[in-house]
Amino acid sequence: MLATNWLYYSPIYHQMPPLSPERNMDCYRLKFTAPFHVDSRGNAFYEESGSFIHSDTLSSAILATWALIWPEQMSQQAQTPSFRLSSAFPFYRDCSDRYYYFLPRPFRESVSPPDGWDMKNNKKIKKIQWLDVDQWRAFWTDNNWEYRINLKEDIQQGIFACRNKYLPEKLWLEEERPRLAIDRNDNQAAESQIFNFSRIWLDPNGGLYFLAVFDDEASRQQFETALRVLGDSGIGADRTSGNGCFTPSKGQIPELQLAEHGQAVALSLVNPAPSDCQTGWLEGSAYKLVSRGGWIGGSGIRKQRVRMFAEGSVFNQPLTGRMIDVSVDHLPHKVFRDGRGFFVKAG
C-alpha cells in the first residue's frame, strides 16, 4: 500500500488533462554518436549508468534546451509542457532493415506453473526485462506467457524476449573509467578520491526510441528543433567531454494505442495527481515504485526526492499524473519534475 504522505508529497503540482486516443503518437529514434551516462538512482552514483533514459530525465533535458531557444516561453512550458513523453527504450535494426522496438516487461501477478514445469527455469524468466512488440502482444493474450515462451529460441542475451536470433551479442556495453575527484573550493585533486565513471555504448545498429504526443503542430515543430539541439549538446552527465550526443530521426510508430480508459500500461514514470487517487484506484494493479532525485543543473543543489511508479506498471485505468514542484529555497526560479503518465492499452 502507498502511504498517504507519499500520495500528496508536494502541495504544489500542476495537473494535466488525460491523453486522448484521437491524439496521434510520434516516434523518435536516437542514434547515439557517443556513450552516455544517466544516473538511474538519482544520487550521483557514477559507477553505474542506466541503460535507457527515464521520461522525467528526457523531459527535463528537452525543457532546458527549450529555455535556451525560447526563454520567453519557459514560465508556461515548465509548468504545463505542450508535449508528453514516454521513456526512451532500446531498439535495434537488423540486416534486413527491420526495426525491433523493445518495451518494458509489464508487471502482473504470477500464476502457478503448469504440471511438469522445471522450477530451475524461473530464474531465466525473472531476468527477462524487455519484450519486442510481437512478444508484448503474446504477453497480453496468454496469461501463461512466461511458461510457454521458448527459453532457447525466444530469449536473447537473457533479458530480451524476441524471436530474432541475429541480435548482436550485446545491444549495449557498459564501460568504466577511473576518474579523480576535484575539490570545488580550490580546484585541486581531492586526496584519495578516485572513482569509476560508467558509460553506456550502444550497438551501432541500435539506439533508444521514445513516443510523444503534442498539443498542436507548432509545439511539435518546436519540440523537434529542441531535440536536434539537445542531440548536439548531449544528454546525461559529462556532456562537456562529448558524452550523450545523438542524432534524432522520426521512426515508424510501434503498433500501440494510447489508453483513455480500461486497463493500461505505463510507458513513463508516473507520479499520480490527487484526482487519480480515488477509492479503489489500486485494486487489480501491479506496479513497482522508484525513488527519483538528482541535482538542479548548474547549482550543485539536490532536488527534492519523489517516489514514482515505474515503467511497466499496470492499472485498471490510466493515470493522468502531474508536474511536481521539486524546488528548494533560495532559487530564483521554480524547478519541476515531470510525473505525467504516458499510458498505452494493455494488449
Of the pLDDT bands very low, low, confident and very high (cuts 50, 70, 90), residue 239 is confident
Q: From its phi and psi, is residue 234 left (phi > 0), alpha (psi between -120 and 50) or beta?
A: left
Please give the grid coordinates belonging to residue 49.
549508468
Mapping DSSP to helix (H, G, I), strand (E, B) and coil, where does residue 147 land? Answer: helix
pLDDT, tens digit, 9 for 90 and up, residues 213-231: 999 999 999 999 999 999 9
Tens digit of each residue's pLDDT (9 = 90 or more) over 170-213: 899 888 776 666 665 555 555 557 777 788 899 999 999 999 99
The partner residues of 247 in beta bridges, in order of sequence, read 31
pLDDT of 18 reads 53
Instruction: Let me know if residue 344 belongs to a domain.
Output: yes
Assigned domain for 151 exists: yes
Q: Which residues pair with 102 in a beta bridge?
A: 132
Decide if 224 is inside a domain. Answer: no
Banded model confidence at residue 3, pLDDT cuts 50, 70, 90:
very low
Residue 325 within any structural domain of the chain? yes
Beta strands in 53-144 (DSSP E): 83-85, 89-93, 99-104, 130-132
The answer to whether residue 179 is domain-embedded is no
Interhelix angle 217-233/55-69, nearest 10 degrees: 100
Q: Which helix (H) or strand (E) holds 133?
A: helix 133-141
16-20, 86-90, 121-125: which range is least confident on average? 16-20
pTM equals 0.87
Contact 202, 38 (CB under 8 A): no
**228 lies in some domain:** no
Residue 96 C-beta-side C-alpha neighbours within 13 Å: 6
311 domain-assigned: yes
Q: Is the CB of residue 318 less than 8 Å from the CB of residue 341? A: yes
**Average model confidence (pLDDT) across the chain:** 85
Give me the pLDDT at residue 191, please: 58
Beta strands in 229-345 (DSSP E): 246-251, 264-266, 289-292, 295-296, 301-302, 306-309, 314-315, 321-325, 336-340, 343-345
- Number of structural domains in the chain: 2
Domain end: 161, 184, 207, which one? 161
- Point out the domain boundary residue: 133, 161, 189: 161
Structural domain that includes position 286: 257-347
Last residue of a domain, one of 161, 191, 214: 161
Q: What mean pLDDT do residues 267-275 have?
A: 96
Is residue 5 domain-resident?
A: no
